[in-house]
Amino acid sequence: MKPAHSVSLRRWLAAPGSLSRHLAALGSDYRVRPLREGGLRLLPDEGAGSSRARSQRYWGREVLLYVNGQPLVFARSFTLARAVRGPWRALRRLGTRPLADLLFGVRPAHREVLPPLRLPPASPWHSRVGRALRNYPASPQPRLGVLWMRRALFAQRRGGPALMVQEVFLPAISRRAGPGGRSPATARGWATGPAAASHALSHANAD
């Protein structure tokens, strides 16, 4: 991985625990703005090119995370479609609540950290982030360059269906002091690399 450009950004990428908790500490008005949820197709970085991924159906959710009216994070999470009728059914009832309420609540999910990804301007992530910001404009409108994304896989139990959580940090986050934390460790027991999401999700047992 190429190094992130600022100490602040590196700290955000390595922030332990709930990102929502860290963002909420930045201001008095932390909000989750849902963009879409339902069936989705995987992006190339999510393993869309693998034959296993093409044989599966996925359900996902995309949101923008705001602090004091400024968008700081674009988040996208997904799991196998059958899992939202089983152990991940609470995803459909989140609404404007942060996903962290489910992942770090009374019964926290098992978390495996994946290496962060550098997203160049030609990445398909930029078109998704740009569209989200145009639909929900902020003032001033951020200019997107190279973006960074942190990723983690969550499971209610080992061997159960996994939920991939991906958080893209928008330019304004670099101007916010990042929380302390260790450098992200490569996940153990999960696949890593371009097809990490589809491999881990499709091998999970949804029963």
Binding residue numbers for substrate: 61, 99, 167
Residues 32 and 62: beta-carbon distance below 8 Å: no
Structure tokens given for 170: 């928008």
Of 45, 1, 38, the closest CA to residue 198 belongs to 45
* Residue positions forming the annotated binding site: 61, 99, 167
**DSSP per residue, 58-88:** EEEEEEEEEETTEEEEEEEEEEEGGGGGTTT
- 85's CB contacts (< 8 A; 6+ apart) are none
Of 4, 12, 21, 1, the closest CA to residue 177 belongs to 12
Burial label, 138 (beta-carbon count in 10 A; 0-12, 13-18, 19+): middle
